[in-house]
Amino acid sequence: MNEAGKKGLLVVSFGTSVNETREKTIDVIEDELRAACPEYALYRAWTSGMIIRKLWKRDGVRIDTVAEAMERMIADGVTRVTVQPTHIINGVENDLMKQDVLKYRDHFERITFGTPLLTSEADSRAAIRAVMAEAGEIGADEALVLMGHGTTHYANTVYAALDYMCKDLGYRNVFLGTVEAYPSLDTLLRQVEALGVRKVTLAPFMVVAGDHAINDMSGDEDSWRSRFEQAGFEVTCVLKGLGEYGGIRKLYVEHAKAAMGE
């Protein structure tokens, strides 16, 4: 332990019950944060109680809640904590996570928070470029449609702003919508039809390619894929979470280091 006390880096994710995508996304984000911040002991917490319970019942795997991770750090003698969420936006999950962490503020010398993926305009630009670097060139008769989660929280406006920024950066055939808010699938269908393309590639704009990507995006019934196919498009689905994109992981590392004051 150094004079400033033991340092802990708590990486907070919503979580996923799909082990294959977790290994490619959350695990790799954590590995890169661990490598970039070797003086910090790394801890994991997930915010979805439902997923935590499912993993315990199905796999016998125990994942800490935020409160449990804070208790674990206290027991380990951590005195300075940086919390880095893998959340996309500053929405409900992030607000509740901060509340849970700050209940323990009296037990630590210092607690700092890294920001979610899309916090600044520069973040949005970097995220779009990271996605497009992976997507490659999109043909004139194609559209790339990205599926975000969406929320009733006012931070949901980030998704529409990101869609607008795609066009502003020259990606006229890239669209961003959400499962649970605006822009909706109906909005995207109208916009893509107006573009006059024949082919659509669907990809999740979520850290993991989990249940939403598998069922809501690419499933057989009442999915984004089925709706686009019914509208006459040739559809390809890419089951690849944002955590698999090097440029996205780099953003999370930058946010954590900024919170650490480095």
Catalytic residue numbers? Answer: 149
152, 227, 234: which is closest to 185 by C-alpha? Answer: 227
Contact indicator for 85, 97 with CB cutoff of 8 Å: yes
Cα radius of gyration (the chain): 19
Burial of 137-149, coded b for 16+ CB within 10 Å and e otherwise, reads ebeeebbbbbbbb
Q: Which residues face 232 on adjacent strands? A: none
Break the chain down into helix, strand, coil percent, rounded to 5.
Answer: 50, 20, 35
C-beta separation of 134 from 98 below 8 A? no
> Cα separation of 64 and 47, whole Å?
9
**Contact (CB, 8 A) for 44 and 11:** yes
